[in-house]
Structure formats: C-alpha cells, structure tokens
C-alpha cells in the first residue's frame, strides 16, 4: 500500500469553480497535494489494497475555509476588548491562548488564516511553531502588531507611529520580523476611548507610504476604517484590503455618509472589503442565550449610532458596484470565537441576500485570491495543497451547515475524523 497516496471519497465534492457539487467523487492526494478529482466509480477495484481510502459518505467536501481577519490572542469573550488592554504585556498568557485558538480554528475547517493584529511576540512564534509542526493550527499569514497613531486605535498592542517617516519605519520593522501583510488603523475604533472612529488617524499620503513600503517587499496593506473620511483616504492610497469599510460621518450628530464616487473607485481599483458582519450574528446568538454585552461602542458613535441594516445597505451598494468581499470574522473579538468563521458566510446570505455558492466562494477561493495564496489553496483542483473540510449536511442548501465540519484534512493528513479531533 502506498501510504503517500490517499483517496477521499464523498457524496458531494465542490467542483473546481465552487459553483456546484460533484456527486460521489474521489479526491486523489499524493504527497499532501491534490493530484486528481475523479468519479468514485472510476476507481480501480483493488484501490483499497493499493492506497489509503477514506469513504466519508453523506458529507459535503469543500476546500478548507480561508479567514482573513483574526486576532489570535484575543479571548473572544464578551469582555475581550477590555482584556486586550488589561493584558497587553502578559505575553505568556496571550501565547497560550493563541495556541488554543489556532487549534480550534483548524479543527473547525478553517485551514488558512490571516492574523491582522496581534502582538509580534505572539504572532511570529506561533506561526513558526505551526510551521515546525510543534502545535496544530492553520496555514498562517500574520501582520503582527497593527500600526496606529500614539494613543490611536489598539495602541495597546500596536506599533505607535505618527508621521509618514515613522509609519515607513514601522512597516519596515514588521517586514523585518516576517510580516505577510501590514495592518494599519486608518481611523479610530469602537473600543479605544482615545481613538475616535469617526475621524481619520492618517492622511491619505501617509497611508500611501505604508502601501509603498509594503509593496517594496511584495506584501499588502489591510486598513481598519470606520468612517467615510477614512474610507476615502484608503481609496486614495489604494490600500489592498479595507477592513469594516463603514461610512460614519465625521459629525457626531449624524449617521452614515456613503459616497458613490469613492465606492466606484474602490471597485475600479479592485480593492477588497472585509464586511465583518459575521460576528454580529454570533452576538445575536449570545443575546438569545442571555449573555450579550459588554461590547464597547465609542462615545462618538453612541449618541447617533445607526442600526445594522444601514450598514448592510452600504455594503450592498459597494458589492453591487463590483467590490469583492473577503471572509473575515474578526476572530477574538466579543463572541467571535476562532472556530466560528462560518458565521461570515451565514451573514452574507442571511443579511445581504447572497446566494449560498457566492458565500461559499467568499469563504474559500475569493479570500485565497485576496490573500495571494490562490495558487496553493482555495479550491479542490489538481496541484493545490490538500487542505480540505467535510461538512455534515449540505451548506449549499443550508448555509448554516458550514458550521458542521466533521472531518478536516491538512496537507493530506486527517486531523479531524467524523467529529473527533486527532491533533
């Protein structure tokens, strides 16, 4: 028997474009890579003697999920945001929490994760430990500490840089440590009292410096932006990935200020948006269980906050203009536990009205493309790494089934089998 040749057979296997199921299909894996996708009935009759064959039966096999928005050492408890500030120097505690979070993520079928905001002292060693096989976890891309202004959003785990020169140096410092992407806070944020989310933290020219310095090393910039002015700056600077992309007015007495020209340009430039509405659903679930807040809302927003439906509307407007979305839970923030990335796909179906296959593509191939790893992962096609997840039920019929990863395969190795974690 060739132990390096393995067949995974399932009743439903996503086709190469992730637009429909192939029925009773076998995925041939050789040395950790997908080698072929063929109908189960075409396998030779002695296949069980010559290879390892895993017959999963009534499950739906997808490429492993890809999540582009993680904070590996944040607790995901209802007080996660306050803890992030209180525990900023407790590196050992943060590291142990991150180890546990990364195992949870991969066992939920999320086999590729981009972390965009965790302490350097945690993020880079965790990435290395996963690579070394010392701990279980997804294929990991990391930004390390986010870049923010002094006392700016997430300053307590960020690199504080105010001027264009300081930002350039902060970006290069992240690159020296091994960053796969740069995270920068273009506006303030909801849970940092000293950082008003309605106001830009950096002018467009400074964001453009970050983009330029990142590009020098072939990496991209993801920018947190909660206000119309911040979104405009991110579009002006052509950052690769807008995180949140909310349109709050600078005026604290007003709601949103969507700008069509800015959104059109965002689409023309091929900028990706991370809508971050999945963890809202998890917050709703927590509320239903009677354990919702505290989730911080900034003083500048509290007086004239807008309901979620208004945000959904601006997200739909961007999407209708052709802006593409990445899959990002904001793992680690309140109620966004690291094993619930599927909630993103639920949210675009249930809140934005997408069809389920579009949501499944967002959760896999699209986000792999946004992260520049689509040569390696994101679809079940020959030549790609055999990172696969089998879900009970049928997520194309019921998107909530995407939360039911029962078997997970990473680089061809089975790490979870029929609901039991093996790592």
Q: Minimum distance between the CB of residue 135 and Zn ion, rounded to whole angstroms?
A: 23
Q: Minimum distance between the CB of residue 331 and Zn ion, rounded to whole angstroms?
A: 8
| φ, ψ dihedrals at 359, nearest 5° | -65, -40
Instruction: Tell me the C-alpha distance between 263 and 235, whole Å.
Output: 8
| Closer residue to Zn ion in complex, CB, 330/387 | 330
Is residue 418 within 8 A of residue 406, CB to CB? The reply is yes
| Closer residue to Zn ion in complex, CB, 34/342 | 342
**Length of the chain counted residue by residue:** 423
**Six token digits for residue 258:** 């969507």
CB-neighbour burial class of residue 33 (10 A; exposed 0-12, middle 13-18, buried 19+): middle
Question: Taking contact as CB under 5 A, which single stretch among the options 21-29, 328-336, 339-347, 362-370 is the one that binds Zn ion?
Answer: 328-336
| Closer residue to Zn ion in complex, CB, 28/279 | 279
Question: Taking contact as CB under 5 A, which single stretch among the options 51-59, 325-333, 346-354, 372-380 is the one that binds Zn ion?
Answer: 325-333
Instruction: Tell me the C-alpha distance between 267 and 269, whole Å.
Output: 5
Instruction: Tell me the C-alpha distance between 124 and 105, whole Å.
Output: 17
Q: Minimum distance between the CB of residue 117 and Zn ion, rounded to whole angstroms?
A: 5
| Closer residue to Zn ion in complex, CB, 330/366 | 330
| Closer residue to Zn ion in complex, CB, 71/404 | 71
Binding mask 279-318 for Zn ion (x = CB under 5 A): ----------------------------------------
Question: Taking contact as CB under 5 A, which single stretch among the options 57-65, 173-181, 200-208, 324-332 is the one that binds Zn ion?
Answer: 324-332
67 binds Zn ion (CB under 5 A): no
Question: Taking contact as CB under 5 A, which single stretch among the options 27-35, 143-151, 323-331, 371-379 is the one that binds Zn ion?
Answer: 323-331
| Closer residue to Zn ion in complex, CB, 87/330 | 330
Instruction: Tell me the C-alpha distance between 113 and 183, whole Å.
Output: 14
Residues near 48 by beta carbon (within 8 Å), at least 6 away in sequence: none
Q: Minimum distance between the CB of residue 244 and Zn ion, rounded to whole angstroms?
A: 8
DSSP letter for each residue of 80-120: HHHHHHHTTT-HHHHHHHHHHHHHHHHHTTEEEEEE-S--H
CB-neighbour burial class of residue 47 (10 A; exposed 0-12, middle 13-18, buried 19+): middle
Q: Out of 67, 121, 330, 369, name the contact with Zn ion by CB under 5 A.
A: 330
Q: Minimum distance between the CB of residue 157 and Zn ion, rounded to whole angstroms?
A: 11
| Closer residue to Zn ion in complex, CB, 25/186 | 186
Q: Minimum distance between the CB of residue 421 and Zn ion, rounded to whole angstroms?
A: 26
Q: Minimum distance between the CB of residue 234 and Zn ion, rounded to whole angstroms?
A: 15
DSSP summary character for residue 129: H
Q: Is there a cis peptide before residue 255, judged by omega within 30 degrees of 0? A: no
Using CB under 5 A, count the residues that bind Zn ion: 1
| Closer residue to Zn ion in complex, CB, 115/213 | 115
Instruction: Tell me the C-alpha distance between 284 and 290, whole Å.
Output: 10
Cα Rg for the chain, rounded, in angstroms? Answer: 21
Is residue 325 within 8 A of residue 361, CB to CB? The reply is no
| Closer residue to Zn ion in complex, CB, 67/369 | 67
Q: Minimum distance between the CB of residue 291 and Zn ion, rounded to whole angstroms?
A: 21
Q: Minimum distance between the CB of residue 330 and Zn ion, rounded to whole angstroms?
A: 4
Residue with CB nearest Zn ion?
330
Closest by CA position to 61, among listed 421, 409, 414: 409
Binding site for Zn ion (CB under 5 A): 330
């Amino acid at each position: 028997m060739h132990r390096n040749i393995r067949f995974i057979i399932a009743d439903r296997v996503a086709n190469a474009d992730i637009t429909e199921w192939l029925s009773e299909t076998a995925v041939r894996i050789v040395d950790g890579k997908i080698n072929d996708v063929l109908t189960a009935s075409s396998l030779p009759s002695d296949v069980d003697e010559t290879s390892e064959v895993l017959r999963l039966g009534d499950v739906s096999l997808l490429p492993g999920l890809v999540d582009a928005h993680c904070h590996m050492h944040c607790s995901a408890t209802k007080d996660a945001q306050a803890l992030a500030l209180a525990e900023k120097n407790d590196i050992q505690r943060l590291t142990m929490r991150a180890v546990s979070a990364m195992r949870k993520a991969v066992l939920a079928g999320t086999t590729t994760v981009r972390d965009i905001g965790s302490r350097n002292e945690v993020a880079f060693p965790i990435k290395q430990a996963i690579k070394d096989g010392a701990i279980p976890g997804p294929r990991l891309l990391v930004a390390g500490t986010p870049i923010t202004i002094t006392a700016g959003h997430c300053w307590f785990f960020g690199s504080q840089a105010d001027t264009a020169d300081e930002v350039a140096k902060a970006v290069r410092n992240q690159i020296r440590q091994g960053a796969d992407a740069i995270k920068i806070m273009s506006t303030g944020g909801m849970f940092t009292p000293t950082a008003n989310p309605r106001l830009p933290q950096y002018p467009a020219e400074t964001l453009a410096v970050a983009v330029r310095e990142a590009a020098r090393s072939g990496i991209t910039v993801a920018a947190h932006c909660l206000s119309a002015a911040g979104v405009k700056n991110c579009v002006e600077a052509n950052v690769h990935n807008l995180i949140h992309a909310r349109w709050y007015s600078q005026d604290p007495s007003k709601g949103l200020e969507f700008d069509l020209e800015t959104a059109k340009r965002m689409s023309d430039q091929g900028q990706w948006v991370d809508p971050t509405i999945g963890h809202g659903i998890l917050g709703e679930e927590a509320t239903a269980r009677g354990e919702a807040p505290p989730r911080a809302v900034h003083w500048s927003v509290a007086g004239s906050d807008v309901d979620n439906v208004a945000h959904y509307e601006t997200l739909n407007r961007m999407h209708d203009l052709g802006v593409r979305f990445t899959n990002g839970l904001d793992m680690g923030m309140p109620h966004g536990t690291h094993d619930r990335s599927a909630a993103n796909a639920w949210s675009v179906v249930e809140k934005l009205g997408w069809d389920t296959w579009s949501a499944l593509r967002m959760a896999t191939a699209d986000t792999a493309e946004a992260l520049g790893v689509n040569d390696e992962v994101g679809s079940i096609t020959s030549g790609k790494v055999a990172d696969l997840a089998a879900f009970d039920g049928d997520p194309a019929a019921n998107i909530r089934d995407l939360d039911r990863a029962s078997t997970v395969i990473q680089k061809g190795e089975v790490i979870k089998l029929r609901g039991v974690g093996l790592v």
